Amino acid sequence: MAAVQVNKDLLRAQFVGKSLNEVITPTAILDLAKIEANCNLMLDAAERLQLSWRAHIKTHKTEELTRLQVGDKSSGPVNLIVSTIIEAEKLVPLLKEYRDKGRKINVLYSFPLYASCLDRLACVSAELGAGALSVMIDHVDQVPLLASLASKSGGNPPLVFLKVNVGTNRAGIIPGSPASNALIDALLASEEAGSSVLLGVYCHAGHSYAARKDWEAMGILGAEFEALKQVAEVVRDKRAPGKDPLVLSVGATPTATTIQHPDLASTDSASNGHDTSGVNGNTNGADILTTVPTQHLKALLKTLKASSFALEVHAGVYPTLDIQQLAAHARDLSLLNSSMIGISILADVASVYPARGPNNATEAVVNAGSIALGREPCQEPDGKRYSAWGLVMPWGALANSQPVPGADFPEVHGGWQVAKISQEHGVLRWVGRKEDEAALSVGQRVRIWPNHSCIASAGHAYYLIVDSRNVGREDEVIDVWPKWNGW
């Protein structure tokens, strides 16, 4: 069953108007200025390139940030992705609001369909109406569930994305495989029987998080489109005529955000000084190897549009960003740097231990461990470049002394880092020259940028909202956003 949601009015009465030095810790903080800016960058890029946009809400699980992701005042379609059914259930009032304003709505449950989720998804579909619910299919044995879902939802056939594996190996079919061809046949039969509507093909390039060069993820974006094109062409050749164009939905925050590259929006073939080197890959899920500049991607988008496919990008962590995104270098420093990270975890320094760490480094313990920060490392196979669980943000007493990750991160990193975590304890360690050490004291407060904001957020019931545009009141809580935790 759904988890109990904390009351927003009570939270606002408790926190709004207080300073971050007055609230309880550990707690998750969002900077409204930064997440608004990150959302607008994505909306503007998708509009410039005439790409459909589908926002994933799993990172934050809030109504307020969902509104920013889809452009609250826009008149365009509202396409969303959820990872838990409770997210879809909690979105129903907002989607009804947008539907009543004339916006086309659709929410995708982005997990392969299984029997025990049908009743709850059917309720969402029944409330929102025909065409509003999409589901994910990647195995022929899931296809019979579509008829049951349509029946339970009052006759609304679900829209279906065929999930394609482009190398992450988490879920999805391999393009060109016997399993892929069998699944295509089964889905087309389901569509002809009126049990579903095949919306398109979908992939998630989670392996793009391991990229480490500026704009490298752009090549992976091209590989995503190429893989989906291979599957979609098979579907198109077998499908009955007169259907809507298939949607090719690609994305993960590293790949999706590369559409912000300035050259993609221009007709000039010059690189404007930006490093457009990247990687591409074959379409059978193998590793990514070859270079694809912006001009190749521009040509690919043009070809796909001319082939009567509808092109869609999706992403989720881009509004908040995190340390993993800085490590991936999906964009250059002008469009991806630490000043754009919109989430931090506020914690108290409970004790300080001089010379306890390696090479006599100072350590300190804070009241934010794995439950408050998450336990997800950056993808650093050798463990040599960055192995911490978060970086301390330059804020408060550390505003002018804590270094920030730069163009050479994660190969080079220094300052106060979360070196170790247990359930409630986080151990900070100074990395760098002893003479440069920024002093920490017992009772001091710090804000920590987490490695992965999705996982860090999961340990918190709400976000305290600040706005760095409020000069002189940057640390004042202006709102509280309850989260839709649970499943």
Residue extents of the structural domains in the chain: 104-315, 338-451
CB 158 within 8 A of CB 125: yes
| pLDDT number for residue 384 | 63
> Do 345 and 398 form a contact (C-beta atoms < 8 A)?
no
| Regions of the chain with pLDDT less than 70 | 1-4, 266-293, 379-384
Amino acid letter, residue 271: S
pLDDT tens per residue, range 382-424? 656 789 999 999 999 999 999 999 999 998 889 999 999 999 9
Closest CA to 398 of 413, 415, 419: 415
188-241 tens-digit pLDDT: 999 999 999 999 999 999 999 999 999 999 999 999 999 999 999 999 999 999
CATH 2.40.30 fits 338-451, yes or no: yes
Q: What is the pLDDT of residue 382?
A: 61
CA distance 314 to 405: 26
CATH class of 104-315: alpha beta
Note the pLDDT of residue 266: 64
Q: Which two tokens stand for residue 91?
A: 């979105």
pLDDT of residue 378: 86
Task: Give the pLDDT score at 284.
Answer: 33
Q: What pLDDT score was predicted for residue 464?
A: 98
